[in-house]
Amino acid sequence: MSSHKLHLKQPSGRELLGGDLVAQCLHALGVEVVFGLHGGHLDAFLMGCADMGMELIDTRHETVAVQAAEGYAKVSGKTGCCFVTANSGFCNAFPGLATAFADRSPLLCVTSSPPLRDAETNALQGFHDQVVLAKPVTKFCHRITNVGEIPRIVSLAWRTASSGAPGPVMLDFPIDVLFTPVENEAIAWGGITAPLVSLPGPDPRAIDDAVQMMRESLRPVIIVGTGAQNAVNEITTLASTTGIPIFHTPKFSTGIPYTHPFHAGSATTLANLSSNPSIRPDLVILLGARTGFLLGGRSGAIIPLTTSCKLLQIDIDGSEIGRSEHVDLGIVSDIALATASINAILESGKVEKFRVAEAWIRTTLALKAWRAKHNEDEPKIDEKNGHLHPYHAVKRLFQFLPPKSIICIDGGEAGGWALQNLPEAHAALSMVCTGYLGFLGNGWGYALGAAVADRSVLVVNMQGDGSAGFHLAELDTYKKFNLRILTVVVNNCVWGMSLAGQDMLYGSATQHRPAANLRSETRYDVVAQGFGVLGLIIDATNTLPQSELDKRRKSYMELGSADESLTKKVLDGLGAAVDEVVHENGPGLIDLRVSRHPYQDSTKAMVGQDDDPDVIVVPYYDNLPRPYYKGKKKVEDKEESSGSSNGAPS
C-alpha cells in the first residue's frame, strides 16, 4: 500500500544511497537536528541529512554529542538524535549512552562499522563489536545488514526509544550498507509512516484509590521527576484544585513554572522537616520521579520511611514502583493521563471536594524561602584566604541571571551550592547533570542540547573547576553555533568534594590529601578567550598575574566607587559580568574564584562522618553498625547484662 511508504527525495547529482534512506527516515520521524562528530564512515548519512535540511551540530567529543541529544530531549520533549563514527567514536559515545540509559532519556544514536564482509579481519575501526558493547546500556541496539531493511529497523528503534520507559537506542549501519544504492522495490517500510502510538493510561480503580488517599491525607506533597515532563498542565491543575504543593527532584525540575503558586522548589528541602514528625508529609505522591539517592535514598530524610507516611507512586515503568521501599499504591501509567484522570474525578463532583489545610501549604511553600542560616551568616569573603564564600558567590550569581533561564548543574561542591541556591535563580528549568552515575562533565552536553532546543533563553552551564576540565573544548562548539550559554566555573582550585571527604574522614590523622589538587594558575577565562568566547574573571583576592592574552579582563575593583566595600564591589562585578554575557547574545564564561571552605551541607551528610566507635563509616552511603563493639558504652552494657567482657576487640 503506497501510503505506508515514504516518498523518497532523489539527491541531485548522485545516487540515492543507504545513508540517504537513514536520513530520510529520521526526517520523516520528525528529526530536525542531529548532534555528532564526523567520521568518513558516516558521510553517506551526513550528505543525506544535509539534503533534507536537517541541522547538524558537530561537537568536539562524542560523549558530548550523545549528551547534547539527551539535553535536547529533556528540554524539547522530543527524542534526541546523534551520530558517532565506528569504534573510536562509539567508544567515546559509550558514557553518553550509559548516562541516557540511567536517566531514561529517549535518543537514537547512529553509528557505523567496517563493511560486512570484512568482519573479524582486524579492519579499520572494526575491532570491537559495538552492538555487543552497547547492549547493556541501551534499550535496543542492532546492526543493519541489508539496505532495504533500513526503514523498518529505524522505525522500530525510534518507537523503542520513545515509548514506555524511554531510553537510548543505537543503530550500527556498516559502511557498505550506508553506501549501497537503494532499490525502491526491495524496501521493507515497516512502521516508518505509522502515526505515533497513544500513551498507556491508568487503571480507573487505582485512580479511585489514589483520590481516596489524597482525601485522607492531611499533609500531602507531590514530587515530580523527569517522567512528568509532559504533564505540566495536569499537575498544576491538580495542585490548584487541592492545594497540594509540588516539589521536584533535584535531577529535573520539569517545566512547572517557578511562579506557580504551589511550586515548592526542590524536594531536598523536605529534609528540613525531618526532625519533627508532626510536620512531615503523611502522603508522598511520586509522579514520574524515582526513589533513590537523589531523593534521599534509604535514609528517609526526604520521603519519610515510616508507617505514618503513605507512598503513592505513578510511573510509566512498573519496575520502578516499590524498587527500594514499600509503596502503598502503585500505578503504571503515563503521568499526564493518570493526573488528568485524577483531575476528572475531582471535577466530576463524584467525590466531595477537598483542600489541604492552609497551615500545611504555608509550611511547605516556606521551604522555598528557607536558607541555611549558618551559610547566610558567614562572611561573604573568607577572612583567611580573601576569596568569596562559595554560597554567597553562587547566590548572588543566580540573583543576577535573567529569569526563566535553564540551569544545568555539574561539579561537586559547586553543584551543591547551585542546588542550594536554586530558588534565587527563578529558572524555567533546572537539572542536576551528574545524575545517577554521579558523572562529572555531563553538563557541557546537556547545556548544548538545551541551548539548541530553546534558543530564546539563557542556558547556564554551572561547573566546578574539576568538572569543567572534562569538556572545555565544547566552548568551541558553543561559539561555532553562537549559542546563548553562560558557563560559570565555580573555581575553588581543587577537586573540592574529593578534598571534603578526605578532610572529614582523615582530619589531622594524616596530612595526605591524595589526588585532590587542581592548579590555581589555570585561567578558564583566558581559555575561553582562546576559543573566541567572552571570558571574564571574578577574583576577590585580585592577586592573579595578568596575562598577555588577558585583554578583556573585567576589573571589578574599578566598578564601584572608592568608598564601597570590597565585598560589594566584587559581587557587583559579578553582576556586571553576567550582564556582559547576556548582552553578548552568545556564549560566555566566568571564572568565578571562590574559597574551598566551608564544605557543602549535603557533602557532610553524604560523607556521614561519625565518631561513634561502633559505627563503620561508609562514605557517600549509609553507615553500617559494627559487627563487634568497639565503644566503651556497648562493652559496659554487655558487661552489665552478662557480668563479663564479651571479648570483642576494642
CB nearer to Mg ion: pick between 417 and 531: 417
The answer to whether 496 contacts Mg ion (rule: CB under 5 A) is: yes
Element (H, E) at 583: helix 566-584
Question: Sign of dihedral through CA atoms 288, 294, 298, 301?
Answer: negative
Strand partners, 107: 80, 168
The answer to whether 463 contacts Mg ion (rule: CB under 5 A) is: no
Q: Which of 105, 269, 405, 492 binds Mg ion (CB under 5 A)?
A: 492
Q: Provide, rounded to whole angstroms, the least separation between the CB of residue 443 and Mg ion.
A: 13
Q: Find out whether 22 and 69 touch, Cβ atoms under 8 Å.
A: no
Task: Tell me the residue ranges of DSSP E strands in 459-527.
Answer: 459-464, 485-491
Q: Are strands 246-248 and 283-287 parallel, antiparallel or unpaired?
A: unpaired
Residues 382-421 vs ligand TPP: string with x where CB under 6 A? -----------------------------xxxx-------
The answer to whether 433 contacts ligand TPP (rule: CB under 6 A) is: no
Element (H, E) at 162: helix 150-162
The b/e string for 341-371 (b: 16+ C-beta within 10 A; e otherwise) is bbbebbeeeeeeebebeeebbebbbebbeee
Distance CA 110, CA 161 (A): 13
The answer to whether 250 contacts ligand TPP (rule: CB under 6 A) is: no
Distance CA 278, CA 263 (A): 22
The answer to whether 172 contacts ligand TPP (rule: CB under 6 A) is: no
CB nearer to ligand TPP: pick between 138 and 492: 492
Q: Provide, rounded to whole angstroms, the least separation between the CB of residue 549 and Mg ion.
A: 23
Q: For the purposes of burial, counting CB atoms within 10 Å of the CB of 584, is it exposed (0-12), middle (13-18) or buried (19 or more)?
A: middle
Q: Provide, rounded to whole angstroms, the least separation between the CB of residue 483 and Mg ion.
A: 24
CB nearer to ligand TPP: pick between 320 and 382: 382
Q: Which does 439 bind (CB under 5 to 8 A by kind): Mg ion, ligand TPP, none?
A: ligand TPP
Size of the site for ligand TPP (CB under 6 A): 19
Q: Provide, rounded to whole angstroms, the least separation between the CB of residue 421 and ligand TPP.
A: 13
Q: Find out whether 325 and 305 touch, Cβ atoms under 8 Å.
A: yes
Q: Which does 423 bind (CB under 5 to 8 A by kind): Mg ion, ligand TPP, none?
A: none
Which residues, 6 or more positions from 188, have their beta carbon under 8 angstroms from its beta carbon? 148, 149, 151, 152
Q: Which does 190 bind (CB under 5 to 8 A by kind): Mg ion, ligand TPP, none?
A: none
Residues 459-488 vs ligand TPP: string with x where CB under 6 A? -----xxxx---------------------
Distance CA 116, CA 103 (A): 33
The answer to whether 495 contacts ligand TPP (rule: CB under 6 A) is: yes
Size of the site for Mg ion (CB under 5 A): 5
Q: Which does 497 bind (CB under 5 to 8 A by kind): ligand TPP, Mg ion, none?
A: ligand TPP
Q: Which does 440 bind (CB under 5 to 8 A by kind): ligand TPP, Mg ion, none?
A: ligand TPP
Tell me the DSSP string of 328-394.
SEEEES-HHHHHHHHHHHHHHTSS------HHHHHHHHHGGG---HHHHHS-SB-TTT-PBPHHHHH
Q: Provide, rounded to whole angstroms, the least separation between the CB of residue 316 and ligand TPP.
A: 28
Q: Provide, rounded to whole angstroms, the least separation between the CB of residue 423 and ligand TPP.
A: 20
The answer to whether 113 contacts ligand TPP (rule: CB under 6 A) is: no
Chain residues 115-154 in contact with ligand TPP, contact rule CB under 6 A: none
Q: Provide, rounded to whole angstroms, the least separation between the CB of residue 137 and Mg ion.
A: 28
Question: Sign of dihedral through CA atoms 35, 73, 592, 556?
Answer: positive
Q: For the purposes of burial, counting CB atoms within 10 Å of the CB of 186, is it exposed (0-12), middle (13-18) or buried (19 or more)?
A: exposed
Q: Which of 332, 497, 526, 581 binds ligand TPP (CB under 6 A)?
A: 497
For the record, the C-alpha cell of 92 comes out as 567515546
The answer to whether 96 contacts Mg ion (rule: CB under 5 A) is: no
The answer to whether 498 contacts ligand TPP (rule: CB under 6 A) is: yes
Q: Are strands 246-248 and 459-464 parallel, antiparallel or unpaired?
A: unpaired
Which positions touch Mg ion (CB under 5 A)? 464-466, 492, 496
Which positions touch ligand TPP (CB under 6 A)? 411-414, 438-441, 464-467, 490, 492, 494-498
